[in-house]
Amino acid sequence: MKKEVSTSEIITKGYLWVNLPIITIICVGFYFIHEYFNQSFNFSLIAGTAIGWIYWSFSVKKWIKWALLNNVDSEKLYKIGIRNLLIWSRHDIKKVADKLNKE
């Protein structure tokens, strides 16, 4: 039987899989677009953010799937995700849960 996943483990995995890479992607994307492609500050910032957002859409699903497969209650996951700026709505969790139920 699997041990219960702690709240701190859920948060840590969320930060390591979602938030930390996004911040890195946005900063590195901004720098390269601004310095190597000689684009304006505003364009570089928007483009870096867009690249980070695309990564978020994949990584947050991976984090939610991991949590649900480890028997984390979806309501608990929602509260943790909102409080720690990992997700924005219940829809993200519901979409992943529905996909898991089909498998």
**Length of the chain counted residue by residue:** 103
Band (103; pLDDT cuts 50, 70, 90): confident
Q: Can you tell me the mean pLDDT for 74-102? A: 95
Scan for tokens 């219960």, then name that residue. Answer: 4
Asked if residue 55 lies in contact with residue 28, where contact means CB atoms within 8 angstroms, the answer is no
Surface-to-core class of residue 48, CB atoms within 10 Å of its CB (0-12 exposed, 13-18 middle, 19+ buried) = buried
Surface-to-core class of residue 90, CB atoms within 10 Å of its CB (0-12 exposed, 13-18 middle, 19+ buried) = middle
pTM of the shown model: 0.91
Among 65, 62, 70, smallest CA distance to 21 is for: 62
> Which tens digit of pLDDT belongs to each residue from 85-94?
999 999 999 9
> Which tens digit of pLDDT belongs to each residue from 52-70?
999 999 999 999 999 999 9
Structure token digits, residue 9: 């483990």
